[in-house]
């Protein structure tokens, strides 16, 4: 079902934690709420779930205003940070915990949704951490909730496991047709998994949109540097051209002429022969296989990190020239 959070405020003691947070998630979409530690993500999730009351604003699931209802009447499924399965109950009984008796078919259906068909008889300690997290998802999906909330659900998993569990969780949510909210401070997780990203800062959602639009058209410099990497340089804008130490560069959008800053993405830097562009010295090369990141200290002391192809030919200590390709993001002062 569609989830609509409108202008929610919440204080603890005298501290305002949510300052008018609004969020819309369309039916069947997975939205990631992305923000730094302490910005209010978990509080927002707990308010949607009904574990915390709100001071003002509203939460609607489908057509229903739920902010006055207790958690069990909201039809919300929750996947916590750690699977938190009952250790003495089988996987199937964990999944069926909130269901009426005689729900064996629904339990098996949910295990199938998360790719664990046939594992119902196992005990939690007999399956991997990633599988436990998928059981927690099956448990959340079992009562057919209107909205599924996932609170940093991959935190307890090690890095190598995370990526595959992420894919499986996304696929299961899509198979179930669930409307879901994923809270995370991991931008790669948000950008790669979600249909929409809501960037949260100091108790507010400051931008909502597709992962591509939030990356390519950030609302302000704060979003530009939080969502993706950027080198920020002083610049002056005039008629859609921003001039900075790396040259005069076309802007992504025309703005008011004047002073401000440009945010340059790693994939915009091009490494060239010395003599072309801004001169610098290669400090570090990180090789990732399909691509690489080359850190260059320019003679101006500005440090840039360029994403290049995997067949990188540079070595630390090489002299290079650096230019910038494509339109740049300019933010007026
Ligand atoms: P993290 O990513 O670290 O989990 P978060 O974005 O989820 O952070 P919240 O857990 O929502 O942030 O916390 C936001 C602020 O509200 C923090 O400063 C926190 O200390 C405060 N806070 C949260 N719950 C309570 C509470 N029950 N009583 C008092 N303060 C609280």
What spatial distance separates the first Cα and last Cα of the chain, rounded to whole Å?
Answer: 41
Please tell me whether residues 136 and 237 are part of one structural domain: no
Which residue of 41, 155, 204 sits with most ligand 1 atoms within 8 Å of its CB, as the best mutation to test the pocket? 41
Domain encompassing residue 300: 229-332
Same domain (yes/no): 258, 140: no
One domain, residues 47 and 145 = yes
Looking at 200, 222, 244, the residue that finishes a domain is 222
Ligand 1 touching residue 145 (CB < 6 A): no
pLDDT of 312 over the 80 cut: no
Tell me: do 252 and 314 sit in the same domain.
yes
pTM over 0.90: no
For ligand 1, say whether the CB of 38 is within 6 Å of any of its atoms: yes
Q: Are residues 282 and 145 in the same domain?
A: no
Residues 159 and 244 in one domain: no
Q: What are the two backbone dihedrals, phi and then psi, of residue 251, each rounded to the nearest 5 degrees?
A: -90, 155
The verdict on the CB of residue 185 being under 6 Å from ligand 1 is yes
Residues 69 and 183 in one domain: yes
120: domain CATH number is: 3.40.50.300
Ligand 1, atom 27, lies closest to the CA of 12
* Residue in 253, 233, 252 with CA at minimum distance from that of residue 243: 233
- The predicted model gives 180-206 an average pLDDT of 94
> What local confidence, expressed as pLDDT, does residue 290 receive?
84
Shortest-distance Cα residue to atom 20 of ligand 1: 38
**Sheet containing 3-12: order of strands:** 15-25, 3-12, 56-61, 64-65
- Residue at a domain's end among 222, 245, 276: 222
Our answer on whether the CB atom of 43 is closer than 6 Å to any ligand 1 atom is yes
Q: How far apart are CA 182 and CA 48, in angstroms?
A: 12
Q: Are residues 179 and 287 in the same domain?
A: no
Per residue in 42-72, pLDDT (tens digit) is: 999 999 999 999 999 999 999 999 999 999 9
> What value does the mean pLDDT take over residues 264-277?
94
Do 62 and 192 belong to one domain? yes
Q: Is the pLDDT of residue 310 over 80?
A: no
Q: What is the pLDDT of residues 153-164, one digit of tens each?
A: 888 788 888 888
Where a domain ends, among 222, 255, 280? 222
Mean pLDDT, all residues of the chain: 93
Contact 196, 209 (CB under 8 A): yes
Indicate whether this complex's ipTM tops 0.85. yes
Q: Among the atoms of ligand 1, which is closest to the Cα of residue 45?
A: 11
Q: In this structure, are 122 and 249 located in the same domain?
A: no
Residue 200 has pLDDT above 90, yes or no: yes
What's the structural domain count of the chain? Answer: 2
Same domain, 207 and 192: yes
């Amino acid at each position: 079902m569609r989830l609509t959070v409108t202008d929610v405020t919440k204080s603890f003691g005298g501290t305002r934690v949510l300052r008018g947070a609004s969020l819309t998630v369309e039916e069947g979409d997975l939205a990631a709420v992305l923000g730094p530690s302490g910005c209010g993500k978990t509080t927002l999730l707990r308010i949607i779930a009904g574990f915390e009351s709100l001071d003002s604003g509203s939460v609607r699931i489908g057509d229903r205003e739920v902010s006055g209802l207790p958690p069990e009447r909201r039809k919300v499924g929750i996947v916590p940070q750690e699977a938190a399965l009952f250790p003495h109950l089988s996987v199937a009984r964990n999944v069926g915990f909130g269901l009426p008796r005689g729900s064996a078919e629904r339990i098996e259906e949910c295990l199938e949704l998360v790719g664990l068909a046939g594992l119902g008889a196992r005990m939690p300690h007999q399956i991997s951490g990633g599988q436990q997290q998928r059981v927690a998802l099956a448990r959340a999906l079992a009562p057919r909730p209107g909205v599924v909330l996932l609170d940093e659900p991959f935190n307890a998993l090690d890095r190598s496991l995370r990526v595959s569990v992420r894919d499986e969780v996304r696929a299961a949510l899509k198979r179930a047709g669930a409307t879901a909210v994923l809270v995370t401070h991991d931008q790669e997780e948000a950008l790669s998994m979600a249909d929409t990203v809501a960037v949260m800062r100091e108790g507010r959602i400051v931008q909502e949109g597709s992962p591509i639009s939030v990356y390519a058209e950030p609302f302000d410099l704060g979003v530009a540097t939080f969502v993706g990497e950027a080198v920020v340089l002083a610049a002056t804008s005039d008629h859609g051209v921003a001039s900075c130490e790396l040259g005069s560069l076309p802007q992504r959008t025309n703005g008011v002429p004047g002073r401000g800053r440009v945010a340059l993405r790693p994939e915009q830097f091009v490494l060239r022969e010395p003599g072309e562009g801004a001169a610098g010295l290669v400090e570090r090369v990180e090789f990732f296989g399909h691509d690489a990141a080359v850190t260059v200290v320019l003679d101006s002391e500005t440090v840039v990190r360029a994403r290049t192809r995997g067949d990188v030919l540079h070595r630390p200590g090489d002299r290079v020239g650096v230019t910038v390709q494509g339109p740049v993001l300019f933010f007026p002062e």
